[in-house]
Structures are given as structure tokens and as C-alpha cells.
Amino acid sequence: MRNFVNKKAQSLAPSGIRKFFDLAQGRDDVISLGVGEPDFITPWEIRNAGISAIKKGYTQYTSNKGLVELRREISKYLLQRFNAKYDKDDIIITLGASEAIDLVLRVVVEEGDQVLVPDPSYVSYKPCIELSGGEAVSVPCSGENGFKLTPEMLESVITEKTKAIIFPYPNNPTGGIMEREYIQKIIPVILKHDLLVIADEIYAELTYGEEHCSIASFSELAGRVVLISGFSKSFAMTGWRIGYVCAPSEITGAMLKVHQYTAICAPIFSQYAALEGLLCGAENGYSSVGEMKEEYDRRRRFMFNAFSRIGLSCFEPKGSFYIFPCVKSTGMTGEEFASRLLKEKGVAVVPGVAFGEFGRDYIRCSYAYSLDNLTKAVAKIEEFVKGLK
């Protein structure tokens, strides 16, 4: 029998995160710092809105774009929180930010187009670019400058085939952010090469110290920023599968066609639940988001101090809920370190290479775990590193 799987799907690499976690499966002695998912349950008012939507019998499709009330609230929220201006008609509610990433790349990328991806970055950009026939071009980022992009770094990889840049800040896995003055510096490069910016701002609410600066708030870039975000991280709603994408009208129109054929709409009760999250948040200053963020910040400081004590050099994360220590001083790659740590001490972390080849010397630890769990994991990591000397 012939192989029915097409070449693109055959050549797709499995997610480095999953691959590693399969190794930990079936071991109940493992402490995991692997999963990028809030350990909080969705705030009660949001859950309750979902339950009451079901009780009211809201079990049908919504319009393809999503509930107009929700799109209106997202439009207000983005303007109020991040000064990003998108009309409700230029917003599509998606099945998490994941669908939004796939949608925009499907309608923008043509065979042979290059898309810049800061490396290391979230795992789905590269495969989605490749499934659309494009080429993902890494922009090597390093801990020395906080994993930021600079104009020089961009110029060194841009060619006449470059069409877009993924702008994933606050960043998973590095915890890096791009502050206003750094974004300002790269705007001339974006304009000079006529690039589309695909901003994944799913961690926008989770920055520590410095407020998030949205690249969509710069008037010079009007008409060339696609903004992706969602409720999974800041509202602890991963299982509800709800996100959104905001784009210039012609891109929204094209995405809507793909979305209506492939997803139809996001689940209606998730849309009502998300709407409640925004309405309550607007009323009470996003207090539940703020409480979770405070707890992440406490854990972030704990983890940063711990890695400094252990002697693994580490950029102090400024956003998201990951810390990304460099393990080069141990003489191992991140992959070797993570495999041995799992085998010898029962602690699961993700090798940095899962997020791109420039993550090779790093490991990603999620601090979306209780302080108790983090304390146990860190003690084992310390024991492991001391044992190497």
C-alpha cells in the first residue's frame, strides 16, 4: 500500500515538548515543570457564566466571527489596556490562539515566502509556516540582551522573499519582552521591507514590573499588524479553547473564509464565559487576573533567586510564566541536561531546543506550579548540579 500521508505532514517534526513528556509518562515519581498551563482553575464568575449559558440552552453555533457582544468587548479591552485599535468587525473569535496562528499564516504565506521567527519561540509558528508552503527563518536571540530583537539582527536575515515577522512578546519560552523603545528601533526596518507583523500577545497581561507595550499601538504600523491573543493564559481558560485574531479588513475577510470552512465558530458557552471575564474585569480592574499575576510574580522571583544560587546563568524573566536558564556551564546541552535530570532526579523540564536551535543550551521551566512544587523541584535540580562537580 502507498503512504497516504502527504510529504508536508510526513516531514513535520513532532513537538519537542510532547516528545520529551512521553519519556516522563507512566512515572508517578516525577515532578514536572514542563507544562505551559496555569495551575489555577478558571475564576468562578467565568465558570458560572459558562454554566449559565448551557442552562439557558445556548448550545448552537454562533456567527462565524463570534458573538458580536464579545467582539465589541475585546475591541474595548484592547483599546483600554494596550491602546490597540481594532474594530469589532475586524476581530474573529477562534479556537484558542492556536487556531489564530494557523489562520493568519494560511492566508498570508505563499509557496516560497519567508517568515521571520525569533529563535527560541513558541513551538507552533514554524510548523504552521511550513504547512502553508513558507520557510521559517530563525532570528537568533540571546539571553545577553534579554532575548530582544534589534534592527541589525533583522537586517541580517531579511531577503527579498521575507514577507512577515512573528512578534511573540512576552515570550514563551524565554520570558523576554520588547519595551516601547526597542519596538521603536525596529519599526523603520519593518517599514523599509514592507513586512506584515504577526504579534502573538497571549501573555500581554503577564508582565512583571514593566507594563506590556503592544506593537499594534504604534500608528506608523497601522494596517500591517495582525494581533493574536486569547483567554487561555491570563484568564486560566486553556480547556475552553477560546482566543481571537484582529487584523486589517482584507486579512480578516480571508481568514474568515478559512475559519468558516474549518472551525465554523468557537464554542458558544466559551464565548459567553470569556465575555463575562471581560465585563467583570472592566468593572473590577481585572482583579482575578491581577491576583494570579501576583502569585506568578512571587514564583518568578523564587525561581530566579534559586537559579542564581545554583549557579546556572539566567536572564530574569520579565513576562509570561517561564524561566529559561542556560546550562552550558555544566558542559551539557539542554537536551542532555533535561534527560539526565529526569532520569536521575525525576524532574521534568523542557529542553530549550524544542523552541528552536538557538535554545540548544537552555532548559525551560514553567513556574505555573505551586511554590511547594517549585521548592521540591529546585532542591532536586540543585542536588543534580552539585553532583556534577
Residue among 122 and 286 whose Cβ is closer to ligand PLP: 122
- Least distance from C-beta 389 to ligand PLP, angstroms? 34
Longest dimension (CA), the chain: 63
Under the criterion CB under 6 A, does residue 107 sit at the interface with ligand PLP?
no
Q: Does 202 bind ligand PLP (CB under 6 A)?
A: yes
Part in contact with ligand PLP (CB under 6 A); list of ranges 50-58, 95-103, 272-280, 326-334: 95-103
Give the CA distances from residue 262 to residues 6, 76, 359, in Å, rounded to whole numbers and listed in that order: 19, 28, 33
Name the residue among 84, 76, 133 with its Cα closest to residue 107.
Answer: 133
Q: Which one of 75, 232, 234, 271 is in contact with ligand PLP (CB under 6 A)?
A: 232
Judged by beta carbon, residue 122 or residue 369, the one nearer ligand PLP is: 122
Residue 112 CA to residue 110 CA, distance in Å, equals 6
Note every long-range contact of 55-61, with CB atoms under 8 Å and residues 24 or more positions apart, other chains counting. 58/268, 58/269, 58/272, 59/268, 59/269, 60/268, 61/264, 61/265, 61/268
User: Sign of the CA dihedral 33, 35, 38, 39?
Assistant: negative
- Contact criterion met (CB below 8 Å) for 244 and 74: yes
Using a 10 angstrom Cβ sphere, with 0-12 exposed, 13-18 middle and 19 or more buried, the burial of residue 91 is buried
Residue nearest to ligand PLP (CB): 96
Sequence-ordered list of residues with C-beta below 8 angstroms from that of 152, at least 6 positions apart, any chain? none
Task: Give one word for 335, left, alpha or beta, with left for phi > 0 and alpha for psi -120 to 50.
Answer: alpha
In one-letter notation, the amino acid at residue 372 is D
Comparison of 17 and 347: residue with beta carbon closer to ligand PLP: 17
Using rule CB under 6 A, residue 238 touches ligand PLP: yes
Window 154 to 193, contacts with ligand PLP (CB under 6 A):
168, 172
> Nearest distance from residue 29's CB to ligand PLP, in Å?
26
For ligand PLP, the closer CB: 146 or 330:
146
Binding residue for ligand PLP (CB under 6 A) from 20, 77, 122, 208? 122
Q: Which three cell numbers stand for residue 122?
A: 513558541
Q: Per CB under 6 A, which region of 93-101, 156-164, 251-259, 331-339 contacts ligand PLP? A: 93-101
Based on the shown chain and the rule CB under 6 A, indicate whether residue 214 belongs to the binding site for ligand PLP: no
Query: Which parts of 30-59 interact with ligand PLP (CB under 6 A)?
Result: 36
**Given candidates 42, 62, 75, 98, which one binds ligand PLP under the rule CB under 6 A?**
98
Residues that bind ligand PLP (CB under 6 A): 36, 96-98, 122, 168, 172, 200, 202, 230, 232, 238, 243
